[in-house]
Amino acid sequence: MCAAWPPAIGNSGSPASWAASTRSSSAPRRPRRRPSPHRFVKEVLRMWSPPLILVRRARASFDLGTTRLEKAQNYLVSPHMIHRDHRYWQQPDTFDPDRFLPGVPHGPTDRSCYVPFGWAPKKCIGNDIGTTQLMGLCYLICTRYRLSVPNSDTLPMACRFAPVPQRFNGRLALAWN
């Protein structure tokens, strides 16, 4: 995605501006908006978050539309389907990290519809560290390496246990400048 979406590395599209936006200053301050790398990682997780389907057990009996679930009955939920649902996301099949800027009209209509790490009470406890590690990986790829992916716009994804790119022939090389 770093190769396919250059603004992921900063507002000007350069690794240097991305690195500058992630450095901490000597005096802590609250950012006015989410850094671009964080929005980028959130959008990647929205579009291609594993697992595709989760099995849950009803903790109480309840009606869901015309369906009744009884206590202890198993049911399936899909973060992938919620992240692609037009009721919650405008243009859900479009990669747009700016949808996570505060107050944008094309952002999520409900915060509870962004669930790449599942739902409480069984939400992944590693969600924050996982997101931080992905931002660090993006930083390394964008500042210390050069990533090239020919035909990244037409790279098909297969849905298995998790979304997997097909026929991926990218190249990752150390940056020497």
Stated as kind and residue range, the H or E segment containing 17 is: helix 15-22
Q: Which domain holds residue 85?
A: 6-14+33-174
| Domain assignment of residue 111, yes or no | yes
Contact 113, 82 (CB under 8 A): yes
| Domain assignment of residue 19, yes or no | no
| Domain assignment of residue 66, yes or no | yes
> What pLDDT was estimated at residue 133?
94
113 belongs to an annotated ligand binding site: no
> What pLDDT was estimated at residue 3?
52
Q: Which residues of the chain have pLDDT under 50?
A: 8-32, 34
Q: CATH code at 120?
A: 1.10.630.10
| Domain assignment of residue 22, yes or no | no
> What pLDDT was estimated at residue 2?
53
| Domain assignment of residue 106, yes or no | yes
> What pLDDT was estimated at residue 62?
93
> What pLDDT was estimated at residue 170?
84
Torsion angle, alpha carbons of 45, 17, 128, 91, to 10: -30
Contacts of 23 (CB under 8 A, 6+ apart): none
Residues in the chain: 177
| Domain assignment of residue 23, yes or no | no
| Domain assignment of residue 41, yes or no | yes
Domain count of the fold of the chain: 1
Query: pLDDT, tens digit, for every residue of 113-133?
Result: 899 998 877 788 999 999 999
